[in-house]
């Protein structure tokens, strides 16, 4: 016979009350990404065939630098939120699930920092 | 633990694939593909920040047949995920959940993503002076 109370048994097994923030951040980054990506894809189309200097000059334009940084933040935040849900749905071994999610989050932060740093380096010459 | 053996929904193997379910799993697949595709985006910006020869290497990869194939795939994945993502945002607002509407918007997403992908590649080649 267990001396644990029914409440004690279920504590920590239910909702951590963080789902709404995750869900909402996924939607808000999605909304931000629609105009940012339309701008980005259109710019890449215009820049196709541009050489190294023309490409760097384009990145260094203040409005472009700012939009690229915003795009990088929104993309990597949206991507890691989405990949987390995919992992939670399909990976059932607890240790592997936690390790995979941690790997995704570390990678997203690393790639976002690399992107933002590159943009800032080019922008500041 | 007993909960490990609980049946998980949905049992894909007992369902006939439908437009709605195929588009749903495609949204996931394109999302994963796009996350992988960010690696090229990062390489490209890092190379531009590193120097001319590094940038030339990435541009050479982009211009190779495998590079073009990947870029084409990612451009389609991007447009599909964006169009279907907008469809999802309408659903989140409680709009367009009727079966008939969901099928209509599903077909619209497929058509729009194909048109946008082809349009973007025509535009890109045109700005290089290919036509």
Q: Do A79 and B35 touch (CB under 8 A)?
A: yes
Give the start-to-end residue ranges of the domains of chain B: 18-127
Residue A49 has pLDDT above 90, yes or no: no
Q: Do B39 and A111 touch (CB under 8 A)?
A: yes
Cα separation, A83 vs A16, in Å, equals: 19
In this complex, is the C-beta atom of B124 within 8 Å of any C-beta atom belonging to chain A? yes
User: Residue B10, preceding bond cis, omega within 30 degrees?
Assistant: yes
Residue B2 has pLDDT above 60, yes or no: no
φ, ψ (nearest 5 deg) of residue B26: -65, -35
Range A99-117 average pLDDT: 98
Residue A87 lies in a domain: yes
Cα separation, A60 vs A13, in Å, equals: 50
Q: Fill in the DSSP letter of residue A5.
A: -
The per-residue pLDDT for B7 is 66
Nearest CB neighbour to A115, from listed B42, B75, B82: B42
Q: How many domains does chain A have?
A: 1
Cα separation, B25 vs B42, in Å, equals: 26
Residue B130 has pLDDT above 90, yes or no: no
The per-residue pLDDT for B9 is 65
Confidence class for position B4, pLDDT limits 50, 70, 90: low
Q: Do B85 and A121 touch (CB under 8 A)?
A: no
Q: Do A48 and B127 touch (CB under 8 A)?
A: yes
Residue A4 lies in a domain: no
Residue A42 lies in a domain: yes
In this complex, is the C-beta atom of B53 within 8 Å of any C-beta atom belonging to chain A? no
Residue B123 has pLDDT above 90, yes or no: yes
Range A54-75 average pLDDT: 97
Q: Do A27 and B89 touch (CB under 8 A)?
A: yes
Report the residue of chain A nearest B42, measured CA to CA: A115
Domain extent at residue A98? 19-123
Confidence class for position B129, pLDDT limits 50, 70, 90: confident
Supply the CATH number for residue A34's domain: 1.20.1300.10
Integer-rounded Cα Rg, in Å, for chain A is 21
Number of Cβ atoms within 10 Å of the Cβ of B35: 21
The per-residue pLDDT for A81 is 97
* Mean confidence (pLDDT) of chain A: 93
For B18-43, how does the pLDDT look when each residue is reduced to its tens digit (9 = 90+)? 999 999 999 999 999 999 999 999 99
Percent of chain B whose pLDDT exceeds 70: 91
CATH architecture under which domain B18-127 falls = Up-down Bundle (1.20)
């Amino acid at each position: 016979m267990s001396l644990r109370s029914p409440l004690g048994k279920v504590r920590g097994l239910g909702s951590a009350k963080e789902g709404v923030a995750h869900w909402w951040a996924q939607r808000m980054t999605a909304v931000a990404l629609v105009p940012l990506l339309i701008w980005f894809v259109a710019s890449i189309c215009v820049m196709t065939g541009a050489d190294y200097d023309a490409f760097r000059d384009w990145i260094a334009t203040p409005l472009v630098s700012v939009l690229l940084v915003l795009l990088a933040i929104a993309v990597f935040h949206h991507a890691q939120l989405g990949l987390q849900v995919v992992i939670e749905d399909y990976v059932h071994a607890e240790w592997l699930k936690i390790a995979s999610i941690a790997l995704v989050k570390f990678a997203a932060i690393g790639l976002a920092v690399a992107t933002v740093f590159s943009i800032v380096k080019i922008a500041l010459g | 633990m007993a909960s490990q053996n609980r049946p998980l929904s949905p049992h894909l193997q007992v369902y006939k694939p439908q437009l709605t379910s195929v588009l749903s799993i495609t949204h996931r697949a394109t999302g994963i593909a796009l996350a992988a595709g960010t690696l090229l985006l990062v390489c490209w910006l890092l190379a531009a920040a590193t120097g001319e020869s590094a940038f030339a290497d990435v541009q050479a990869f982009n211009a190779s047949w495998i590079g073009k194939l990947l870029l084409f795939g990612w451009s389609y994945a991007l447009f599909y995920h964006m169009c279907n993502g907008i469809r999802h945002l309408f659903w989140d607002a409680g709009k367009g959940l009727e079966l008939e509407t969901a099928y209509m918007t599903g077909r619209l997403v497929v058509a729009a993503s194909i048109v946008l992908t082809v349009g973007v590649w025509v535009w890109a080649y045109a700005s290089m002076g290919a036509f």
